[in-house]
Amino acid sequence: MKLHYYNNCVFCGSKRLVKSSIQKYKHNFYTKAISSDFEISNKLFSRMKIYECKNCYSIQNNPWFSFEDSFKIFNHIYGQHNRSWQNLLNFFIKDIKPDHGNIYKIIKKNLNVKKYAEFNSPFTGLMINYFDDEYKVNLNLRKGFFNATLNYLTARQVVNLSKNKKKERNKKAIEYLRYIKNFKDKYYRNKISKFLLVDNSNLTWVYNDNYKSVNSKVIASKMFDMKIINLYDEKVFNYFDLFGIFHTLDHTHQPKKILDFALNNSKIVIIYCHVNRNIEKQHLFSLTEKFKVYLKKRKIFFYDVTNKINKRYMTAENYIICSKKKFNLNI
Ligand SMILES: [Zn+2]
């Protein structure tokens, strides 16, 4: 297997990359799967060295997997984004929301959100919180809605079935769709407009991010009435009140472009990211705590709310609320 050389900083494009003094690595669940499916040796992993960018302070592996192999990692080897789906199932089956501490409350206190956008992954941020606010329903009703949507989408998969089976499925699909419509008509209120901006990067889960053969973005668009917009297609953009980037800024080859897009098109941007300096080999790059120094240099206003949101379980990660314009955040 041929590795690809990323000689400029993947985040900001700077050439000021300095080799890190610590180069040891450990295998984990992901690298073990990559190693076995690609049939590659530990020697190849040890060729990937860790560098720090002296401009934006992100760290990256170089060389690393090519664009083509990244696609295979995120669509063949672990095509299903486990954590993201788990968030959805936890909420609709067990009544547990994703844990972002009280960041949603803080946002509600400070900002009147009419248009909300997220980047690339539909269940890792606040979409579930917005749904919960829009539909004040008990767990049974919520479960019913989730199952009806999942069943509707699978009922529309009819390839290779007999005529009778196709007829049967069509009947079912119509029933499920009626259920979904009734549920929305009855319980939907306080509408906000929701958008998922996607770049379909080879560093993110796209085509095989499925549960029971239904794709995450497809079910999200149906359940949340969320518009899915390709970042590179749309010429006229909406101006968003809030833009959430939840664990997805390090899952694109164009992170700076995404962040700049979010800042230029929204009042407030939330960045939730790993800041682990011991970057693991399944990641091309990671931001660090010092990313805030870079934001300051770029005159981007921000609040680091990591230690203010009372999150139950915290790893090496940051929650940054930022904007191009000065703003007050009441915590
Ligand atoms: Zn950089």
139-155 and 82-94 are packed helices; what angle lies between their axes, rounded to 10 degrees?
A: 130
Does the structure show a pLDDT above 80 at 237? no
Q: Which strands form 49-53's sheet, in the order they lie side by side? A: 17-19, 49-53, 59-62, 285-286
What is the reported pTM? 0.95
Ligand 1 centroid, distance to 60 Cα (angstroms): 9
For residue 16, how far is its CA from the centre of ligand 1 (angstroms)? 8
Res. 84 pLDDT band, cuts 50 70 90: very high
**How high does pLDDT run on average in the chain?**
95
* Domain regions of the chain by residue span: 27-126+194-285+300-323, 137-188
Mean pLDDT computed over 93-110: 97
Q: How far is CA 171 from the centre of its chain?
A: 35
Give the pLDDT band (50/70/90) at residue 24: confident
**Burial of residue 13 (number of CB atoms within 10 Å: 0-12, 13-18, 19+):** exposed
For residue 55, the CA-to-ligand 1 centroid distance in Å is: 5
Q: How far apart are the first and last CA of the chain?
A: 50
Query: Is 3.40.50 the CATH number for 27-126+194-285+300-323?
Result: yes
As a whole number of angstroms, the distance between CA 135 and CA 146 comes to: 13
Distance 50 CA to ligand 1 centre (A): 13
CA of 315 to the centre of ligand 1 (A): 23
